[in-house]
Amino acid sequence: MTTEAIIEADLTWTGKAFESGVRIKVDAQGRVEAVGDASVGEPTLRLRDRALLPGFVNAHSHAFQRGLRGRGETFPAGQGDFWLWREAMYELVEQLDEERLYALTTQAYREMLDAGITTVGEFHYLHHDGRGDNFAFDEVVLRAAKDVGIRIVLLNAFYFSGGFNETGHTPLAGGQQRFATRSLDGYWLQMDRLAKLIDPATQSLGVVAHSIRAVPVDALQQLHAEAARRGLVFHMHLEEQPREIEECIRHYGRTPMALVNDHLEVSPLFTAVHATHTNEADMEAFLDAGGNVCLCPLTEANLGDGLANVPWILKHGGHLALGSDSNARISMLEEARWMEYGQRLAHQMRGVCRDDNGAIATTLMSAMTVHGA
């Protein structure tokens, strides 16, 4: 958009309901200046037989995994699971160079814009191009977002270890070397470098601990403390798989979420991604501290992860965001639909995501927009 406009559709979502007669004033840079009635001015763009929604916020994306679409849907060895899928993901990782990553990322981001997504939280852990620890891929993702024209929060991941067992964390291996952040000092040096490169009008940074598998607790504490000091959002994969929880209990004596609650000062800047198998006590403590939860229903279904306890999260006032995660399908409306439908199947009831007035639209729209921001 290169000129100012006043837009009026037949119906506009205003936060609680669709309303008629709503006019939106947009400046030449595409920024919304005013939302109101006829006092905003005469419409220069009248959208008849249309309903107008706010731009969606995709709170959790791995753009490079767009390259896995169409793979892994046959199972010659028998039943598949997350861990077998992860091996296919590692194979893709080792095939990528800057050109291929740029192509996949721009493809994913264009599909997001086509689906009404105007902001993406890119949970980015694929840092290196295979020629050493050069962080070459960080800039590729930022460039792709800028070229496509989507607003991005680069949620830059700290990824230190390949997993853990009873004796401790294990070294990175194979394709995981592309994810490596060898030290906290090196991570923050890269964050400072990226801070000088981003376009502040449409790009910002956040901090990620990939998972309890990939970040030992002492490093997690230091990483989160520095993120809090800088006022940066903090995201982390948590309790997507029962195996991760079992391994964590064997090594640390408690669940991943319990470690987060016990060792970090959780605040509204913290988002737990998935929390599929989080128990009620751990979730209540996390939510009471102000933590948020991001669900990715289509990916969680595709991988056979399971279903988070959404009624418990909502009962305790939790903020739910949504993400496209593996980008096997990019549609926030589908994510929202399956957040509700999955819960209907799990609990054998309808209207699980209803608000105090019995409507589900406000809960789902908030998950697609403000709760991911």
Residues acting as catalytic residues: 274, 325
* In contact, 130 and 178? CB cutoff 8 Å: yes
Give start and end residues of each alpha helix (H) in 272-360: 280-288, 297-302, 310-315, 332-347
How many Å apart are CA 356 and CA 343, to the nearest integer? 18
Q: Which two tokens stand for residue 22?
A: 């709503």
Closest CA to 283 of 321, 238, 244, 243: 238
For residue 65, report the phi and psi dihedrals to the nearest 5 degrees: -70, -5
* In contact, 193 and 139? CB cutoff 8 Å: no
DSSP per-residue codes, 155-186: EEEE---SEEETTEEEPP-GGGGGG----HHH
* In contact, 221 and 263? CB cutoff 8 Å: yes
Closest CA to 120 of 111, 128, 129: 111
How many Å apart are CA 164 and CA 248, to the nearest integer? 8
CB-based burial label for 51 (10 Å; 0-12, 13-18, 19+): exposed
At 308, the amino acid letter reads A
* Angle, CA of 334, 307 and 300, to the nearest 5°: 55
Nearby residues of 247 by Cβ (< 8 Å), 6 or more positions away: 163, 164, 165, 213
Q: Which two tokens stand for residue 56?
A: 């969606």
Q: Which two tokens stand for residue 26?
A: 């947009």
Residue at token pair 């209803």? 354
